[in-house]
Amino acid sequence: MATPGAPRFNSKSPTIKRILREAAELSTTPSPDYHAAPATDADLFNWHFTLRGPPSSPYASGIYHGRIILPSTYPLRPPSFRFLTPSGRFEANREICLSISGHHEETWQPAWGIRTALVALRAFMETDAKGQLGGVEMSEEGRRGIAGETPGWRCGGCGGRSNGEILGEREEAFRAMELEREREGEKGEGEVEVEVPRELQMGFKDEMGKGKGKEKEEADTEEAELAEGFVRTADVAPVDESVQPVHIPPPTPTPTQQPPQTWHRPLVPQTPYVPQTPYRAPAPAPAPLQQLAPQPPQPQTRSNDGVPMWIDRAIAGVVVLLVAMVLKLLLGL
């Protein structure tokens, strides 16, 4: 039987392991500018955060408080954020639309965590709302006035402590960590610096606006070069105009040595192939009929069988003699 009030979660779940690891890392490696932790031990998906305003801005003197809701599939899906204190930049008690929030899951990467999201959220405060969901348009004077009131704001879910007290504890923990490192002979590394990933900067480029100063111009130039497929690898040395270039004439061939000649095949424009019908010669015209003059009859020298006529006559004469001899014999009897 579970003990009343004890945490009820599966410690073997990858999501629970990730949340516990991030909570321990934020607690053991504190930052004087931000802090986040689960509101209760029984609900690891409901976090509260305390954030100091970015320096050199109307929010510099402010300390702001808010909530982070982690999805059940964290870190595969991004968390959601809302400010509980007024800031002049975001509406209080309303989920804000950012590239690191659940409104833009396409820009979130599981490698990022709560610390990365807090650093990005702090950078977002210096941007213009421009009709952003949960954004507020206000003058710098109004934002400075709200910032001066935020350190005394108290959260009932955080033990009734004020924003100033929460970050004050983080500052003391940070100094204690640095002293402990000095006693052990280690070099103090200072605060854990977390830079906003470049992919995340590209994701909320519209919210970041055009930026300020030379750094933004260099970033824009670099992005333009990348967009054109060109990456600068080295600076080109300036040309010294005082140095005149030396002209070297080409070698003149001797009479016995002719310059090499190369033969280039002339380019013949290719015409598309068009099939043609086979050639047929015209039929010859029929020759005109000629009228033949009548010929006189020629004496017949051969019989119809092709035998000469004198042979036929000789045979006929022999036959006649034989017949006469037969008749003479018959009459003599």
Chain centroid, CA 90 distance in Å: 34
Closest by CA position to 45, among listed 26, 72, 18? 72
39: enclosing H helix or E strand: strand 34-40
Q: Are 189 and 45 in contact (CB under 8 A)?
A: no
User: Dmax of the chain from CA atoms?
Assistant: 190
Alpha carbon distance 289, 217 (integer Å): 103
Q: Are 103 and 114 in contact (CB under 8 A)?
A: no
Q: Which two tokens stand for residue 42?
A: 């029984």
Alpha carbon distance 79, 77 (integer Å): 7
3-state secondary structure of 27: helix
Three-state SS annotation for 188-228? CCCCCCCCCCHHHHHHCHHHHCCCCHHHHHHHHHHHHHHHC
Which residues are known to be catalytic?
Answer: 97
Q: Are 114 and 46 in contact (CB under 8 A)?
A: no
Residue whose entry in the numeric block shows the structure tokens 């500052």: 171
**Phi-psi region at 306: left, alpha or beta (left = phi > 0; alpha = psi -120 to 50):** left
Amino acid at 189: E
Residue 106: C-alpha distances to residues 80, 101, 203, 213 (Å): 14, 10, 9, 30
Closest by CA position to 99, among listed 149, 63, 133, 64? 133
